[in-house]
Amino acid sequence: MFGFLKGRKKSLIGLDIGSNVVKCLRLETGGARPVVTHFAMVPLVPEAIVDGEIMDRELVIQAIRECAELAHIPKEPVASAVSGRAVIVKKIVMDKMSQTDAREAIFWEAEQHVPFDIDDISLAFQVLREDVGANQMEVLLVAAKKDMILSHADLIRDAGFRPAVIDVASFASQNAWEFCSRAAAAGHAGDPEDTPATAAGEFVALLDVGGGVTNVNIIRDGVPYFTRDLPIGTVRFTEEFQKQLGLTYEQAQAATQGRLAGLDEKAITELVRTVGAEIYHGLEPSLSYLRAAGEAEGIDRIVISGGGAKLPGLRDYLAGCYEVKAEIADPLGALDWSPEVFGDSDPADLSPLLSVSVGLALRKAVEA
Ligand SMILES: Nc1ncnc2c1ncn2[C@@H]1O[C@H](COP(=O)(O)OP(=O)(O)OP(=O)(O)O)[C@@H](O)[C@H]1O
Ligand SMILES: [Mg+2]
């Protein structure tokens, strides 16, 4: 904005409080490509966060502190995300009006669409289509319970950081994927800001297969058409490997992460298909709706992120179910990093797990 700020670095910390693994990642933007300057992740015990809800606040705060210490991350503003039942995303149709009037009217509209008391929610909205006929417009409504947002912000403060952005986890993954796709499409010559992430009208199913939950976000032209959380993640797969194939916990974890040396690969991929069918069936209602509404024949592409992206055969299984291309998200693909940042870990191996944290750190950065 001001000449004297030109070339100054901007930065933001993305903090992904996953139910299995807490990740923090600091990005510096302002150069040709964003640079990861700090990163760490620490595991969280299963009791700390259950079904997206924080059960043991102290354990979570401790994990965030530990993660920040490991990464030697500076005490700068943090972007983090909420998800789960207390967040509602809905596409609605309302009378056409200016942005300012809509800001007021959205509360009345929300009352009809959100099953919480209107005084108890925080609202955000985005006009998707200015004109859908009959003097109406289409709007994306995002509602979250106020007490959840406040307690999430308090949690970040109690861990020693200033909460600058509170996002929705599946929107953060979308942000990371779109950023990478635009950068790839623009190549070295173009400006990623001006390059669309997808072909016009293409439906993309973004699936973040985490430890406990799979966040589904079906997008078209940058707009989330459907978001849904399916109660299945890597933990379920690990349990099934133990139960059905008689593996030890360590072997089952290795199988979940795609390290199959010495294990029965065929039996494992077969079981991934059986358990993965729950993801397929969980997606079906959204897709039937799209078909019934005449919006689309089906999805055109699947992108898998989260720890579950490494489940052997999951990508091929889902690609086969829909007869479309399925890819593994690589949010580090459009970033650079300082050589010491990932230590002994292989960045390519970690990349799918970092969709949410990268998407968060790419939110409007602040001056460093
Ligand atoms: N390199 C890795 N390090 C740790 N876990 C890994 C790795 N690769 C795969 N995994 C698997 O991924 C899981 C964690 O995935 P992810 O980080 O996406 O979950 P989460 O964000 O903590 O969970 P949720 O999104 O459901 O709250 C682990 O439980 C493990 O099974
Ligand atoms: Mg996650």
Q: What is the DSSP letter of 122?
A: E
- Are 261 and 314 in contact by the 8 Å Cβ rule? The answer is no
**pLDDT value of position 2:** 39
User: Residues of the chain whose pLDDT is less than 50?
Assistant: 1-6, 189, 366-368
- Neighbour order of strands in the sheet with 136-145: 87-95, 136-145, 121-129
- pLDDT for 114-161, tens place per residue? 888 888 988 888 888 888 889 999 998 989 889 989 999 999 999 999
**What is the model's pLDDT at position 227?**
85
pLDDT at 9: 67
Residue 52: Cβ within 10 Å count: 19
**Is there a contact between 118 and 109 (Cβ–Cβ < 8 Å)?**
no
Domains 3-85+146-195+330-367 and 229-326 share a fold: yes
Is residue 2 within 8 A of residue 65, CB to CB? The reply is: no
At the second CATH level, the architecture of 87-145 is 2-Layer Sandwich (3.30)
Q: Using alpha carbons only, how large is the chain's radius of gyration in Å?
A: 21
Q: Which of 126, 165, 151 is nearest to 11 (CA)?
A: 165
DSSP β-ladder status, 366-367 and 223-230: unpaired
What is the pLDDT at residue 190? 54
Looking at the domain that runs over 3-85+146-195+330-367, which CATH code has it been given? 3.30.420.40
Residue 285 alpha carbon to ligand 1 centre in Å = 26
| Burial readout 72-95 (b: 16 or more C-beta within 10 A, e: otherwise) | ebeeeebbbbbbbebbbbbebebe
Q: What is the 3-state secondary structure (H, E, C) of 26-48?
A: EEEECCCCCEEEEEEEEECCCCC
Domain regions of the chain by residue span:
3-85+146-195+330-367, 87-145, 229-326
CATH superfamily, region 229-326 = ATPase, nucleotide binding domain (3.30.420.40)
Q: Hey, which of 17, 19, 21 would you mutate to test ligand 1's pocket, going by the most ligand atoms within 8 Å of its Cβ?
A: 21
* CA neighbours closer than 13 Å in the CB half-sphere of residue 348: 0
Quote the pLDDT of residue 192: 63
Q: What is the pLDDT, as a whole number, of residue 53?
A: 82
What pLDDT was estimated at residue 132?
87
Say what the pLDDT of residue 193 is. 65
Distance from Cα 348 to the centre of ligand 1, integer Å:
15
The pTM is what?
A: 0.92
Closest CA to ligand 1's atom 6: 307
